[in-house]
């Protein structure tokens, strides 16, 4: 049996609970977590998280919290009470906010710090932050350092930064979105990687959205992901 090297997560980027639960029933246990993000959560609320839990699956609540530490801690306590066992914050919220998030999440829920969104290029990032000559690698490393010091479980980065983060902060688990098959479209993602290449680069979790959910046969696309990353059952 091949060694399980990374956990795939399917992003339920759909507008309502009915479509989300249909995908969950179709894909079953072929992934480790189902990701509920802002589109689905804003439409369907915490009940969709509970419904996925009731079907026996883990939920990654990707709401990318970014606020004052006290507010983030409150949001995270609410998230944990829905049954989410992994969630995201923006690492750029700073050390105090990340520590408040980790404390509020407790031992049952993993906190992942978003470093630089995978839709950003270096130019786009520099323009957004009002700086010239910004290096994505440097910013990811700097933000990963904040997450590491504050005790986060992992960070969100592209596959292109995963090995660098893993070398520098071996205890942090990289979660990599922007996953595409070699013959697939990139859509709005700027820094994409195939499932196999992302795992080889050190990804511990892979977030897969449109490459699976946008396929005419999502179960077959999911099987292709699992085959590429050597995941068995």
Q: Which is nearer to ligand C5P, 8 or 69 (CB)?
A: 8
Question: Among this protein's residues, is 64 annotated catalytic?
Answer: yes
Q: Does 156 bind ligand C5P (CB under 6 A)?
A: yes
**Least distance CB 233 / ligand C5P (angstroms):** 23
Q: Percent helix, strand, coil in the chain (nearest 5)?
A: 50, 20, 35
Q: Can you tell me which of 6, 10, 11, 150 binds ligand C5P, judged by CB under 6 A? A: 11
Which residues between 180 and 199 bind ligand C5P (CB under 6 A)?
A: 187, 189
Among candidates 145, 122, 143, which has minimal Cα distance to 134? 122
Under a CB-based contact definition with an 8 Å cutoff, are residues 151 and 99 in contact? yes
> How far apart are alpha carbons 219 and 233 in whole angstroms?
14
Longest dimension (CA), the chain: 50
> How far apart are alpha carbons 85 and 61 in whole angstroms?
8
Q: Does 112 bind ligand C5P (CB under 6 A)?
A: no
Name, in order, each residue with C-beta under 8 angstroms of 56's C-beta and a sequence gap of 6 or more: 29
Q: Does 114 bind ligand C5P (CB under 6 A)?
A: yes
- What would the DSSP string read from start to end of 41-62? HHHH-HHHHHHHHHTT-EEEEE
Q: What is the DSSP letter of 193?
A: B
Site string for ligand C5P, 123-152 (x = CB under 6 A): ------------------------------
Q: Can you tell me which of 10, 207, 221, 229 binds ligand C5P, judged by CB under 6 A? A: 207
Q: Does 229 bind ligand C5P (CB under 6 A)?
A: no
Q: Which is nearer to ligand C5P, 191 or 231 (CB)?
A: 191
Summarize as ranges the residues that interact with ligand C5P (CB under 6 A).
11, 13, 37, 62, 114, 117-118, 156, 177-179, 187, 189, 207-211
- Report, as residue numbers or ranges, the catalytic residues: 64
């Amino acid at each position: 049996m091949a060694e399980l090297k990374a956990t795939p997560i399917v992003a339920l980027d759909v507008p309502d609970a009915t479509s989300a639960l249909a995908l969950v029933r179709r894909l079953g246990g072929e992934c480790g977590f189902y990701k509920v993000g802002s589109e689905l959560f804003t439409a369907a609320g915490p009940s969709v998280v509970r419904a996925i839990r009731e079907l026996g699956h883990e939920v990654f609540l990707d709401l990318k919290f970014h606020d004052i530490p006290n507010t983030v801690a409150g949001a995270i306590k609410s998230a944990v009470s829905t049954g989410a066992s992994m969630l995201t914050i923006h690492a750029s919220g700073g050390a105090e906010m990340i520590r408040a998030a980790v404390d509020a999440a407790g031992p049952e829920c993993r906190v992942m710090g978003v470093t630089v969104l995978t839709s950003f290029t270096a130019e786009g990032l520099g323009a957004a932050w009002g700086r010239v000559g910004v290096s994505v690698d440097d910013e990811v490393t700097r933000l990963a350092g904040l997450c590491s010091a504050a005790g986060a479980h992992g960070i969100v980065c592209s596959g292109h930064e995963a090995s660098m983060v893993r070398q520098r902060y071996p205890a942090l688990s990289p979660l990599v979105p922007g996953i595409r098959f070699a013959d697939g479209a990139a859509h709005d993602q700027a820094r994409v990687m195939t499932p196999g290449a992302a795992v080889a680069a050190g990804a511990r979790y892979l977030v897969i959205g449109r490459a699976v959910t946008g396929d005419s046969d999502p179960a077959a696309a999911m099987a292709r992901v699992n085959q590429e990353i050597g995941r068995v059952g």
